[in-house]
Structure 1
């Protein structure tokens, strides 16, 4: 995306997903900062978000002086705000300070943010990230454990029936569970609860989400599919390149909503035909959706996203960064 016009909140959300795959990420960061300075944000209240994103990009490229400059500008833009975006920027500042060898300053930045674990759903992620960078993984686990205990005590009720019912507790449990696994710690009752809620969430998604949106036709199958049912180019794209681009954009969109464990569902014409059964038209939307649901419940799925330098998920043989990663920005 060329940052030459007014930036909307949607533009910033797209950049958060695509900036690190850009040819010049640091140029994107500088352009974001310039857009703020030049008043080229559709909503001036987005200045803090734009500058925080610039800081994240610079940090990812170990340009710590630039990252600190951007995040300080973000905090100036937030002013006296004490909501989650402002707290996330402060946690990012602590992370950058840790990387710069300024641990005392970083720790002083983090301690006041600790109550956010029981206030903001995303606080568990950004505080854990900062503490781990600072070599304080065990402290992060303790913070998360105490937050789980506090929320459970405040609920004073039976086990949550679902991730939605758990609310903020779900995010703290999941972050704690992942961290304890990374630290090699044994499962406890909170880990077991995290796994039960995650299973319930996954089952609910399989039951309600349009799996057909992630149905992937490898090149030979795409050619056979559209040759037999030309009208399906409306659903899957006129060319295999367009088909892959649609899938990549949908995966990026779903990732932006917080979905994890994303995967594409490789289909075959013979599999679709067998699913439909004799006497029925395999190309109907109902049959295609049912086929996708069956694939989603199985194990023959392709996890997304691959590493930038790994083979692309589409099977082209090219690296992801040279193949489907850029397609999300077309």
Structure 2
């Protein structure tokens, strides 16, 4: 399939969620690589992101040689930039090398990323995944344990009272807890802390007015996949996309009336929720969804509300706000 010119970061995110369901996902990967190399991106800085996405698609179709070529080109495009996206691409490269049976090279790729566990919230997920693919789950557990010990030592204070208070430590605890469960390891004090924080986060989601979890927004394509994969979530998010948007709009209006300012919604994806669930958690469980919302709340992907009456609606329909979601608050 031919992709449009001037692909934006938002376009790339949409492609990430839809590519595997395309008739020719490998064709999408090739087109992404071509777009990056031909300068058909709205922001040239997104070349690494586009090539990484191409590598992920190729890996998912077990085209590992192609995946490795794409991720190598992605790292060339990123250059010497130091950020989570670059680290995630390097972890992807290690994962592909593990799958190719090139274990020594994979270890050499992933080992230098270990310090990032105490720097980026998502590092716990992509480094654990890379090591698990290489059959090194126990090693991943050790890395996470040591990162937790370091984070606790740096806090120099009491046990965190909430997931928000824990910050990056929460994601380390959460990932380690799930990994240890998958490995059949017994609970220890860190597992107990992870469970306490997850419970507190879930309780806060149930008790506070419009926590981040209530402001998850499922774009139309993602909403369809969500209710198809987990029908029980229609109770939380609505049976139709129209109902989902109406619920969000009414909640935003209620919050604004209660004096809340700088309101935002968090675009969610089925892939993101699945990744949050990890190996063994239930994606539909309230604590999983709350954890996913908390993770999104630490990132930059958010949609400000409300738009201007004559501006584009926040839901992405392409209609003016006054003709789209604004009237839904009155339903």
* Residue correspondence of structure 1 range 208-223 to structure 2 within 5 A: 208-209=210-211
Deviation for aligned residue 1:247: 7.5
Q: Are the aligned partners of 1:18 and 1:329 in contact in 2 as well (CA < 8 Å)?
A: no
| 2:205–2:213 CA contact under 8 A, matched in 1 | no
2:223 is matched with 248
Structure 2 residue runs without a partner (length 5+):
239-249, 255-269, 275-283, 285-315, 319-331
Give, in angstroms, the shift of residue 38 of structure 1: 1.2
- Runs of 4+ more than 6 Å apart: 210-214, 304-307
Corresponding residue number in structure 2 for 1:132: 132
The question of whether the paired residues in 1 share the 8 Å contact of 2:88 and 2:126 is answered with yes
Alignment of 1:1-330 (within 5 A): 3-206=3-206, 207=208, 208-209=210-211, 245=220, 248=223, 263-265=233-235
- 1:186 and 1:60 mapped to 2: Cα distance? 32
Mapped to 2, the partners of 1:125 and 1:202 lie a distance apart of 21
CA, structure 1 residues 212+4, in 2 after alignment: closer, same or farther (shift >3 Å)?
same
Question: Which stretch shifts more, 89-98 or 75-84?
Answer: 75-84
- Tell me how far 1:4 sits from its aligned partner: 2.1
RMSD of aligned residue pairs (Cα, Å): 3.5
Q: Which one has the largest radius of gyration? A: 1
* Residues 77-123 of structure 1 deviation map (CA, whole Å, 9 limit, x = unaligned): 11112221111111110100000010000001111111001111111
Q: With the length of structure 2 as denominator, give the TM-score of the two structures.
A: 0.66
Query: What is the aligned partner in structure 2 of residue 255 from structure 1?
Result: none
Distance change >3 Å, CA 168–CA 14, structure 1 → 2: same
Aligned position for 1:222: none
Q: 1:132 and 1:212, CA in 2 relative to 1: closer, same or farther beyond 3 A? A: closer
Q: Deviation of residue 5 (structure 1)?
A: 2.1
Counterpart-to-counterpart distance in 1, 2:185 and 2:317: 40
CA distance in 2, matches of 1:246, 1:83: 29
- Further displaced range: 126-135 or 198-207: 198-207
Shift in alpha-carbon separation, 1:265–1:10, aligned structure 2, 3 A: same
Shift in CA distance, 93/146, structure 1 to aligned 2, threshold 3 Å: same
Q: Deviations over 1:20-74 (max 9, x none)?
A: 2222211111111011011011111111111111101100100001000000000
Q: Deviation per CA, 1:138-168: give whole Å up to 9, x if none.
A: 0000000000000001001112122221111
Contact 1:213–1:250 at 8 Å: present in 2 too? no
- Going from structure 1 to structure 2, the CA distance change for 1:212 and 1:83 (only over 3 Å counts) comes to closer
SS where residue 41 of structure 1 aligns?
Answer: coil
Relative to 1, partners in 2 of residues 1:104 and 1:329: Cα closer, same or farther, differing over 3 Å? farther
Task: Give the structure-1-normalised TM-score.
Answer: 0.66
Relative distance call for 1:211 and 1:247 in structure 2 (3 A) is farther
Q: Secondary structure at the match of 2:186?
A: coil
Aligned residues: 245
Aligned equivalents of 1:115 and 1:107: distance in 2?
14
- For residues 275-294 of structure 1, the C-alpha deviation after alignment (integer angstroms, 9 at most, x for no partner) is xxxxxxxxxx68xx9xxxxx
Cα distance between partner residues in 2 of 1:77 and 1:126? 20
